[in-house]
Amino acid sequence: MRYTSAAIEALIDAFAKLPGVGRKTARRLAMHVLQQPRLEAERLASALLDAKDLVVRCSICQNVTDRDADPCRICTGQGRDQSVICVVESPVDVLAFEKTAHYKGLYHVLHGVISPLDGIGPDDINIRELLQRLQPEKGGEVREIVLALNPTVEGETTSLYLSRLIAPLGIMVTKIARGIPVGAELEFIDEATLSRAMEGRTTF
């Protein structure tokens, strides 16, 4: 069953293409847009195009940044420890770490992980750009690479690949700890996480 308006149908179709948005939600969003002043629709429309037009990847860390702020604010930030680079899969991961306000080093965003099944090889993600940052002529400042990829098969594979690539350069390669999340009860933790937690135990 279709609406009595082709324009509404087109809007529902466009909304439904967004991740996690089904037909029902798309319909609700479309009706909301119809009820709002035109200014609100304009704001979303121009934000969409601006995001495509103004956002580039930082020439150093490959994180997303504005066209007029390259290198990005983190790469050029005062008080950032230039000797540590945390390697992540995507820009949202950078945000997650920044929210902790705990980590003060730099980042490198791979924009993906090695996934042979999806046809994604080492050359398809930003590994080359990472290696360039580690060249001695760059000042040789980097002492440590922290691998913080997601604990999926692809993430682990990529971590292994990177560690083998970087270790010979004489740079320390670490990975973030896997274990019990803060506040979680042991009873409800899956076996894989529990095993990792036991494996990674530290002295008290």
DSSP state of 81: E
User: To the nearest whole angstrom, how small is the minimum distance from the Cβ of residue 104 to a second copy?
Assistant: 14
User: To the nearest whole angstrom, how small is the minimum distance from the Cβ of residue 160 to a second copy?
Assistant: 25
Q: Measure the CA dihedral 172/175/180/183, to 10°.
A: 90
**In the complex with a second copy, which residue's Cβ is closer, 45 or 167?**
45
User: To the nearest whole angstrom, how small is the minimum distance from the Cβ of residue 137 to a second copy?
Assistant: 26
**In the complex with a second copy, which residue's Cβ is closer, 89 or 162?**
89
**In the complex with a second copy, which residue's Cβ is closer, 32 or 164?**
32
Query: Which ranges constitute the DSSP H helices of 4-124?
Result: 6-16, 23-35, 38-54, 91-100
Distance CA 144, CA 84 (A): 5
User: To the nearest whole angstrom, how small is the minimum distance from the Cβ of residue 198 to a second copy?
Assistant: 31
**In the complex with a second copy, which residue's Cβ is closer, 115 or 163?**
115
Burial 32-48 (b: 16+ CB within 10 A, else e): ebeeeeeeeeeeeeeee
User: To the nearest whole angstrom, how small is the minimum distance from the Cβ of residue 38 to a second copy?
Assistant: 5
Phi and psi for 86 in degrees, rounded to 5?
-95, 120
Positions touching a second copy (CB under 8 A) are: 1, 3-8, 10-11, 13-15, 17-21, 25, 27-34, 38, 40-55, 58, 63-66, 69, 72-74, 90-92, 94-95, 98-99, 101
**In the complex with a second copy, which residue's Cβ is closer, 64 or 146?**
64
How would you class 198 by CB atoms within 10 Å of its CB: exposed for 0-12, middle for 13-18, buried for 19 or more? Answer: exposed
**In the complex with a second copy, which residue's Cβ is closer, 46 or 174?**
46
Nearest to 63 by CA among 150, 71, 154, 166: 71
User: To the nearest whole angstrom, how small is the minimum distance from the Cβ of residue 31 to a second copy?
Assistant: 6
DSSP state of 149: -
Q: Please state, as a whole number, how many other Cβ atoms lie within 10 Å of the Cβ of residue 126.
A: 18
